[in-house]
Structure 1
Amino acid sequence: MEINDDDHVSRRWFNVESVPKSHVFSDEDRPGNQQIPLCNTIPIIDLENNSSNLSETIIQACQEYGFFQVINHGVSEDVISEAMKVMEEIFNMPVEEIKKEVSNYSSGWVYMGSTSFAAKGAHLWRDNLKHPCHPLDECMHRWPRNPPRYRDVVGAYIKEIRRLSLVILELISEGLGLEEGYLGGISQVQFLTASNYPVCPDPTLTLGLLNHFDHSLITILYQGNVEGLQFLKDGKWIGVEAIPNAFLVNIGTQIEIISNGKLRSAAHRVVTNQEAARTTIATFINPSPDCIIQPAKLLIDEDNPPIYQPLSFRDFVNVSKPFGPFTDALQNGVCTLKK
């Protein structure tokens, strides 16, 4: 099946018996035939546990893995289920409706359809929708109007994720020894990315998402019941277990900088699946564009000098690479290590 530009706004081009050349990554980037184990030791944090060491457990998880999962988080299963259903509806809309939504929101606030740019020479194996989602009253009017219930359903989901993000950021602040509200106070922007990774005829050749770091404060991901996310630890890829009704939280590069390297953002990627499609909803919790990101003063002393230079979040994102190690950004003069 030949792929043309129009096909990049629909799922139609995924209905193939083999991976097209346009989606085959180089030997260096593709998953290949290696067997990737599932990690069953990533900490699962029960947010209803009032134990005094809850924040300490989160900090340890962030130091060892850069990831942790949260349960009993207060987001109802109904809210999550409806959000996932409406995302599946939008990814299954007719081609004409998807193209209409794309043309209605050409400002860049909303992007729909399969990834149309080539990352490292190949297209990603996914359909993707992305838009800002907080402050809610400033964003919702630019969201898709179809399906008709999209705004109500996703609005309810985002309200709960905003509440959850503030709880998590406060626990991280506490664990780092920062003043109350430190991280929550700079988390002014949220961005939603929903992705659908269709069944792939040969997962060894392509990727749903390349190896990258999230340039957020934290990312909160609901990954449904199908695994696909992998993270890099000690030079080896490890799969992340999909736990029903749990949210996966990963540390972004902004908290790595604020913590002066005490917490580490983990490189991760998304692989495809030959048996089942996968739909996910990721919410990126970001500083405002003009917020100056730098090591927190409370974490700096003679024994722990700042290792990152101050830089606005906007400048960091504009210069850093979308795919590739965080060290690329360091080497390119972004947050350069101080001598």
Structure 2
Amino acid sequence: MERYSAPVIDMKESENLAEKIVKACEEWGCFRMVNHGVAIELMTQMKAITLSLTDLPMEVKQKNSHPEPGKGYTPPNSASPFFEGLSLYDMASPGAIDLFCSQINVSPHQREVLSKYAFALYYLGQFLGRKVMEGLGMDGDLFEDWPCQLKMNKYNYSPQSVGLTGAVLHTDPGFLTILQDDEMVNGLEAIHKITGELVPLDPIPGSLVVNVGDTAKAWSNGRFCNVKHRVQCYEATVRTSVALFVLGPRDGKVEAPPHLMDSDHPRRYVPFDFEEYRKLRASTKSPTGEALELFLA
């Protein structure tokens, strides 16, 4: 039986790079990047800082707060009892990193690594946005001034949790996610678009995963796949991940550009505000993007 595997894209191979990225977004909704330009040493340092910060006392982590749900610390809960995450919302905005560091007393060294890492992923996300436009035959900086959210995650697995789900099956609400998964501890799985089967996304040391979200599906007029994925507990150990979420337009609407519509491909989704969509996803309990159907044209 054929074993499916998500694409691995070498970001240093300039020939047809934009087309390869678009094809992966259409056929899988996810892919791994190698030779992506983020230093391995920086990734190693960021993993260590993720472990140290998520090991802080609960009363300290809870100071990573935000007025809106999902934009601050996520404690273990009934849906994901093994998972917790610290969050830096709108990380490229002035003062965002300073605020996060002051909330939980991040050391100067930790702040330096966190800032370098966050912006390395941020600029990589901007590059991916330009390549998506190029691969679709358009010009421009797709993600210019879009808010991004950096999350540092830890899965606290025990012998009793082996075989259980660490993060439930879901899609991401934003456009795309750049994920540094745990190179030592597997568990990330994605739904194959055609077969519907769960496919392990086996770690490759030094690589980064890109997951395509709901906003990308709507923006691409249905061309891109908002990949359903989850994290399973394979072994009784601690698993970490760090993710940069490229969310949605800050001021404008999520809507397909005219280039992606014609008489054979009419508009599939009415324009919508990303923050309104994110809240609708939560209120309608739509973890795998079902709320998108409410915006069908």
TM-score normalised per structure 1: 0.78
Superposed, 1:208-287 pairs within 5 Å as 208-225=166-183, 226-233=185-192, 234-287=195-248
Pair 1:38–1:204, CA change in 2 (3 A):
farther
Please tell me whether residue 197 in structure 1 is matched to residue 155 in structure 2.
yes
Aligned equivalents of 1:325, 1:107: Cα separation in 2: 24
Please tell me whether residue 67 in structure 1 is matched to residue 30 in structure 2.
yes
Aligned equivalents of 1:221, 1:104: Cα separation in 2: 21
Question: Residues 113 and 127 of structure 1 are in contact (CA less than 8 Å); yes or no, is this contact kept in structure 2?
Answer: yes
Q: Could you tell me how far 1:39 is from its partner in structure 2?
A: 6.3
Q: Could you tell me how far 1:195 is from its partner in structure 2?
A: 1.0
Aligned equivalents of 2:28, 2:35: Cα separation in 1: 21
**Could you say what secondary structure the match of 2:169 adopts?**
strand
Question: Residues 114 and 127 of structure 1 are in contact (CA less than 8 Å); yes or no, is this contact kept in structure 2?
Answer: yes
The amino acid of 1:299's aligned partner reads L
**Could you say what secondary structure the match of 1:248 adopts?**
strand
Match of 1:81 in 2: 44
**Could you say what secondary structure the match of 1:211 adopts?**
strand
**Could you say what secondary structure the match of 1:150 adopts?**
helix
Q: Which moved more, 1:101-110 or 1:313-322?
A: 101-110
Question: Residues 44 and 69 of structure 1 are in contact (CA less than 8 Å); yes or no, is this contact kept in structure 2?
Answer: yes
Deviations 1:8-57 (A, max 9, x none): xxxxxxxxxxxxxxxxxxxxxxxxxxxxx996632111111121x11111
Question: Residues 40 and 241 of structure 1 are in contact (CA less than 8 Å); yes or no, is this contact kept in structure 2?
Answer: no
Match of 1:41 in 2: 5
Pair 1:72–1:39, CA change in 2 (3 A):
farther
Question: Residues 163 and 232 of structure 2 are in contact (CA less than 8 Å); yes or no, is this contact kept in structure 1?
Answer: no
Match of 2:137 in 1: 177
Deviations 1:67-122 (A, max 9, x none): 111111111111111111111111223x3xx4134247464586446324x33xxx
The amino acid of 2:112's aligned partner reads D
Superposed, 1:279-318 pairs within 5 Å as 279-318=240-279
Please tell me whether residue 90 in structure 1 is matched to residue 53 in structure 2.
yes
Q: How many residue pairs get matched?
A: 288
TM-score normalised per structure 2: 0.88
Superposed, 1:2-151 pairs within 5 Å as 41-51=5-15, 53-93=16-56, 95=57, 98-103=58-63, 105=65, 107=67, 111-112=72-73, 114-116=75-77, 118-119=78-79, 123-145=80-102, 146-148=105-107, 149-151=109-111
Instruction: Say which one has the larger Rg.
Output: 1
Aligned equivalents of 1:314, 1:42: Cα separation in 2: 30
Q: Could you tell me how far 1:65 is from its partner in structure 2?
A: 1.0
Aligned equivalents of 1:251, 1:312: Cα separation in 2: 18
Question: Residues 227 and 242 of structure 1 are in contact (CA less than 8 Å); yes or no, is this contact kept in structure 2?
Answer: yes
**For structure 1, which runs of at least 5 residues remain unmatched after alignment?**
1-36
Q: Could you tell me how far 1:199 is from its partner in structure 2?
A: 2.5
The amino acid of 2:211's aligned partner reads N
Aligned equivalents of 2:234, 2:163: Cα separation in 1: 11
Aligned equivalents of 1:143, 1:228: Cα separation in 2: 29
Q: Could you tell me how far 1:297 is from its partner in structure 2?
A: 0.9
Q: Could you tell me how far 1:201 is from its partner in structure 2?
A: 1.9
Question: Residues 68 and 248 of structure 1 are in contact (CA less than 8 Å); yes or no, is this contact kept in structure 2?
Answer: yes
| Seq. identity, % | 24
The amino acid of 1:69's aligned partner reads R
The amino acid of 2:191's aligned partner reads L
